[in-house]
Amino acid sequence: MMVVFSPIKTSKRNQLFIWVQYHTLPSFHMLILHLVHGGGYPQYILIKAVKLDNDHKTIESKFYPLYNKILNYWFPATEGYNVSPQWFIPNPRSFDSTIPFVIEYQQHPMLLLEIMPPSDFHLKSAWECAIIQIIQHFDEIGPTNQHVEHLYAISMIGKRWKAVYVTKGKGSKDGWPVGGIAEVNSLKSPAEDCWNPDITSDASWIALQKIVNQIKDYIV
């Protein structure tokens, strides 16, 4: 059996496309249509996201290209932003001295992005680890932030996500969750219902757009 995937764009804004899966068998052809929503994301991001639909993947770096594309979509270089991979933390407090992605504007961090593989979502201890990572980053970077009112951070486990922020010049004790689409909003709770669903879903696109617009409002 041969399986061929082919995307068909059906909307000018790429808000919806059809993922066509052809199953070619010796005696017949079967066509399956998968409708994929993704807010306003362009087709190349949605195609990449579909290929990562496996909650048992164990290698987080497999998700780096997807988030690189998403971050460049929201924060283009033409607007003065830098999507900085493996961003080095000044004066780190642990052996973990880098962050997978940081959005910078004029060399100032605006948004931190941590990534863990989707297989970790099956472990409660991994949820806790993800929260500890972000809290630690806020304590390391937050006090030096004198440039924006809120320093944002997003923790990713596969395509699930949670967004939080800390106020200007403060550490994690002055941190807050970002109200999104999860059932519960909490800075420190690692509970499953505190995590937003697929980052490329319609609801997640809208929630993330609000965060992006808030960050861009700080740029004068």
- pLDDT tens across 110-133, in order? 999 999 999 988 787 788 888 899
pLDDT at 13: 39
88's tokens: 């080095």
Q: Which of 119, 81, 87 is nearest to 101 (CA)?
A: 87
CATH 3.90.1570, domain 56-217, yes or no? yes
53's tokens: 């639909």
Domain ranges of the chain: 56-217
Is the model's pLDDT at 73 over the cut of 80?
A: yes
Is the model's pLDDT at 187 over the cut of 70?
A: yes
109's tokens: 């961090």
Residue spans of alpha helices (H) in the chain:
43-50, 64-74, 124-141, 202-217
Answer yes or no: are the C-beta atoms of 132 and 116 closer than 8 Å: no
pLDDT at 19: 43
- The Cα–Cα gap between 11 and 8 comes to 9
Answer yes or no: are the C-beta atoms of 80 and 106 closer than 8 Å: yes
